[in-house]
Amino acid sequence: MMDSDVEEVVSVSSVSSVTRPRVIRRPVPVRSQTSAQAYGSAESESDDDFFRLHQQMAPIESNDSSSSNAQLPEFAASEEESHVVESDSSSDIDSASEIETNDAVTGEKRKHTGNAHPRSRSVSLTPPPTAPHVPTPNVPVPTQFIHTFELDSDTDTRDLDPSLRAVIQSTPTLPRTSNSPAPRTPRPALERVQIEFQFMYDPEFLTHELPTLWDPRRWGRIRSPATIEKKLQEHVAVVVFTTDVVAVAVAAYSDIFVVDVLATDPVLMDRSMRVFPTSTLASLGDKLAVYIKVFPRTVYNRMREREAVEMARVEGEREQARRDLEMVRELQQTGDTQILTSEPVYEQSAQSTQGIRIKIRDKAGRDTLLLVTAATKVQAVVENYCKLAQLPPNTRVRLEFDDEALDPNDTIGSTEIEDDDMLTAYCIEP
């Protein structure tokens, strides 16, 4: 028997008299001292042979050293036999209860007191399984499908890590393709904007509505109309933030103006576009100054009524001109040219510059448009008028101009009739 075997038996027999606690053992791989890591860390457990081989833990519970040695796994027993217990045969037996061992994982010395055994170690020679190699085809990607992303050095890389920012700034960017978006051009955002208000009114507002809206405590009583209009025509500028709504600027304008603008239920207009109080100033565009006209609600309604009347008048004139043009074309198509061979009532050519446009109105208010020349006789005008008005054949018609009857034998040029004049037709029944 060798000396190491004798010493191991003595050390085991010396601790057999003490009751051992229940110990759970499992094989732990032993690594070299150069690549050793702390036991129990996440990296060591992920590379542990125990988790790779899926071996079961061996519970050991016994009262003597012989039973413990019998229940140890074969590889643990071999490891325990290969482990040398540091003890001296000449020292006292109690000194064997305190053993100093060198931990193969952490490299520091630990003391095992009482009947605790050193941790079992096992060396696994099985290499870790390698992942199967999957060939990947090298397919070239077309240039038009490559999207490049660029970061602004000031804004986008401000919150990045310094090392990552250095890498981004040192890496050259790919050439921009045709399908990639255009580079962004940063524009300075306007923080404030100036709004200039102009108060709009009409004579009816000055007469009936202004006395109820004037604030005498702030501006006093002004009896001169010229001074009042001068005050109303003043432009007031208000500076606000672009994120504010228009109502904030209107409230500030109402506080410093001579009239309580908010009491008039104002209507705001930016050129021809209406501005609502709930709109933000940024919605008006990137402008340094905005000009807004302020209409009281009553003034705005009267203005819209006048515009509607004016539009109706213009539309009526256009409709009348269209009817007159159709009448002239009908006269040109259906006129009796045999009677007026030498004295045409209307010009057959549109390029003639000697035509005189006259309008004949009857007693009922119906108008008839004729195009004549200076050489046309009044009698020819009467005959063509009877045809267009569809009068009975024996009806006699008398034409008057400026309350004076025209002689049928006179020509248009011999009278004072000019272009766009109106004649009055009086029918005399037989």
Is 371 domain-assigned? yes
Residues 107 and 39 in one domain: yes
Task: Check residue 331 and give its pLDDT.
Answer: 66
Is 238 domain-assigned? yes
Asked whether the CA dihedral 130, 135, 138, 139 is positive or negative, the reply is negative
Q: For residues 2 and 196, which has the higher predicted lDDT (pLDDT)?
A: 196
Q: What angle do CA 38, 39, 45 make, to 5 degrees?
A: 110
Residues 367 and 286 in one domain: no
Q: Any idea which of 126-135, 154-163, 329-338 has the lowest mean pLDDT?
A: 329-338
Segments forming the whole domain that contains residue 277: 192-303
Query: What is the rounded distance in angstroms from the CA atom of residue 357 to the CA atom of residue 376?
Result: 12
The token pair at 312 is: 């109706």
Residues 294 and 340 in one domain: no
Residues 196 and 284 in one domain: yes
Question: For residues 28 and 39, is the Cβ–Cβ distance under 8 A?
Answer: yes
Residues 107 and 47 in one domain: yes
Q: For residues 264 and 173, which has the higher predicted lDDT (pLDDT)?
A: 264
Statement: residue 357 has pLDDT above 60: yes
366-379 as b/e, with b when 16 or more CB fall inside 10 Å?
eebbbbbbeebbbb
Residues 349 and 297 in one domain: no
- The model's confidence at residue 8, banded by pLDDT at 50, 70 and 90, is very low
Strands of the sheet containing 273-275, edge to edge, are: 236-241, 192-199, 289-295, 267-270, 273-275
Statement: residue 90 has pLDDT above 60: no
Task: Check residue 277 and give its pLDDT.
Answer: 87
Task: Check residue 171 and give its pLDDT.
Answer: 66
Q: Any idea which of 55-59, 183-187, 381-385 has the lowest mean pLDDT?
A: 55-59
Q: Any idea which of 105-109, 295-299, 395-399 has the lowest mean pLDDT?
A: 105-109
- The model's confidence at residue 160, banded by pLDDT at 50, 70 and 90, is confident
Statement: residue 146 has pLDDT above 70: no
Mean pLDDT for all residues in the chain: 67
Q: Mind giving me the DSSP string for 22-40?
A: PEEE---B---STT---TT
* CA 64 vs CA 8, 14, 27, 43, 313: distances in Å: 15, 11, 21, 37, 123
Task: Check residue 295 and give its pLDDT.
Answer: 92
Q: Which amino acid appears at position 237 of this protein?
A: A
Q: Looking at 288, 303, 318, which one is the last position of a domain?
A: 303
Statement: residue 298 has pLDDT above 50: yes
Task: Check residue 70 and give its pLDDT.
Answer: 44
* CA 244 vs CA 58, 250, 284, 301, 350: distances in Å: 75, 11, 12, 28, 62
- The model's confidence at residue 98, banded by pLDDT at 50, 70 and 90, is very low
Is 244 domain-assigned? yes
- The model's confidence at residue 29, banded by pLDDT at 50, 70 and 90, is low
Query: What is the rounded distance in angstroms from the CA atom of residue 291 to the CA atom of residue 232?
Result: 16
Q: Which DSSP category does 259 fall into?
A: B
Task: Check residue 329 and give its pLDDT.
Answer: 76
Residues 98 and 9 in one domain: yes
- The model's confidence at residue 234, banded by pLDDT at 50, 70 and 90, is confident
- The model's confidence at residue 334, banded by pLDDT at 50, 70 and 90, is low
Record the pTM: 0.36
| Span 371-378, average pLDDT | 85
Q: How far is CA 384 from the centre of its chain?
A: 69
Is 130 domain-assigned? no
Is 145 domain-assigned? no
Residues 12 and 107 in one domain: yes
- The model's confidence at residue 336, banded by pLDDT at 50, 70 and 90, is very low
- The model's confidence at residue 294, banded by pLDDT at 50, 70 and 90, is very high
Is 164 domain-assigned? no
| Span 203-216, average pLDDT | 80
Query: CATH number of the domain that 400 lies in?
Result: 3.10.20.90
Helix, strand or coil, per DSSP, at residue 135: coil
Is 249 domain-assigned? yes
Query: What is the rounded distance in angstroms from the CA atom of residue 58 to the CA atom of residue 119?
Result: 13
- Which secondary-structure segment (H or E) carries 114? none
Q: Looking at 81, 97, 112, which one is the last position of a domain?
A: 112
Q: Looking at 63, 90, 112, which one is the last position of a domain?
A: 112
Terminal Cα-to-Cα distance of the chain (whole angstroms): 169
Residues whose CB is less than 8 angstroms from the CB of residue 88 and which lie 6 or more positions away in sequence, other chains included: 95
Task: Check residue 419 and give its pLDDT.
Answer: 83
Residues 237 and 292 in one domain: yes
| Span 299-324, average pLDDT | 87
Number of structural domains the chain divides into? 3
Statement: residue 19 has pLDDT above 80: no
Asked whether the CA dihedral 222, 223, 229, 232 is positive or negative, the reply is positive
Residues 348 and 400 in one domain: yes
Is 287 domain-assigned? yes
Task: Check residue 188 and give its pLDDT.
Answer: 52
Which of 50-59, 85-94, 404-413 holds the top average pLDDT?
A: 404-413
